[in-house]
Amino acid sequence: MEEFLKQLPKLAKDKHKENKTFFTKLKKKAPKNLDYIMQDLHAEEFERTDCLTCANCCKTTGPLFTDKDVDRIAKHFKQKPQQFIANYLRVDEDNDYVLQSVPCTFLGADNYCSIYDVRPKACREFPHTDRKKFQQISNLTIKNVAICPAAFNIVEEMKRRIKL
Ligand code: SF4
Ligand code: SF4
């Protein structure tokens, strides 16, 4: 995994143009069963990929925190939401709450998340490869393949299986 993570930014860069073209076509004529295809690809990939050997999303990019996330996690720490925000979060250029710094402060040296049961929705859903109407988040996915080895593999398999 370590070696793959080292190579990933270059691999993603090399595939960037091809991925752009693929997703532009996919947006225009997505197969009717795309949701099912994505569920299969996602499940197959995460049977092979163990996030505990990676944690690259937690190390290099942080999640957005919704108000619900803030309330839930603050409660977990027995803090007021404002106190939790002051301790850990900042407002980014899109006016969203994000981590003050990465790697995520809740990530352990063993790659376990110390707030796993109450973690943000964005962490639970990353890399979003099993979401419905996957073609609608193509720009985000093109970015994520440079961070997430599973997303990279899933997009490569998509291109093999879906002929456009
Ligand atoms: S979701 Fe992707 S980047 Fe995050 S730990 Fe799993 S494989 Fe790594
Ligand atoms: S909250 Fe947990 S899952 Fe989310 S980025 Fe931090 S360590 Fe990773």
> Is 32 within a domain?
yes
Residue with tokens 């404002």: 82
> Is 39 within a domain?
yes
Contact 149, 8 (CB under 8 A): yes
Kindly give the distance from the C-alpha atom of residue 10 to the centroid of ligand 1, in angstroms, as a whole number: 17
> Is 109 within a domain?
yes
Kindly give the distance from the C-alpha atom of residue 44 to the centroid of ligand 2, in angstroms, as a whole number: 23
Kindly give the distance from the C-alpha atom of residue 22 to the centroid of ligand 2, in angstroms, as a whole number: 30
Q: What is the pLDDT confidence band of residue 131, given thresholds at 50, 70 and 90? A: very high
To test the ligand 2 pocket, which listed residue (73, 77, 118, 119) has its Cβ within 8 A of the most ligand atoms? Answer: 119
Same domain, yes or no: 107 and 135: no
Same domain, yes or no: 66 and 30: no
Q: Please tell me the predicted confidence (pLDDT) of residue 49.
A: 97
**Cβ of 57 below 6 Å from ligand 1:** yes
Contact 7, 60 (CB under 8 A): no
Helices and strands counted in the chain (H then E): 8, 3
* Residue nearest (by alpha carbon) to ligand 1 atom 3: 148
Same domain, yes or no: 132 and 110: no
Tens of pLDDT, residues 136-154: 999 999 999 999 999 999 9
Q: Please tell me the predicted confidence (pLDDT) of residue 67.
A: 98
Same domain, yes or no: 45 and 65: no
Q: Please tell me the predicted confidence (pLDDT) of residue 145.
A: 98
> Is 119 within a domain?
no
Tens of pLDDT, residues 76-112: 999 999 999 999 999 999 999 999 999 999 999 999 9
Domain extent at residue 132: 11-49+126-161
> Is 121 within a domain?
no
* Number of domains the chain is built from: 2
Contact 105, 84 (CB under 8 A): no
Continuous segment of H or E residues that includes residue 160: helix 149-161
Cβ neighbourhood burial of 64 (10 Å; 0-12, 13-18, 19+): middle
* Residue nearest (by alpha carbon) to ligand 2 atom 3: 123
Task: Residue 129: name the closest of 28, 71, 57 by CA.
Answer: 57
> Is 2 within a domain?
no
Contact 102, 63 (CB under 8 A): no
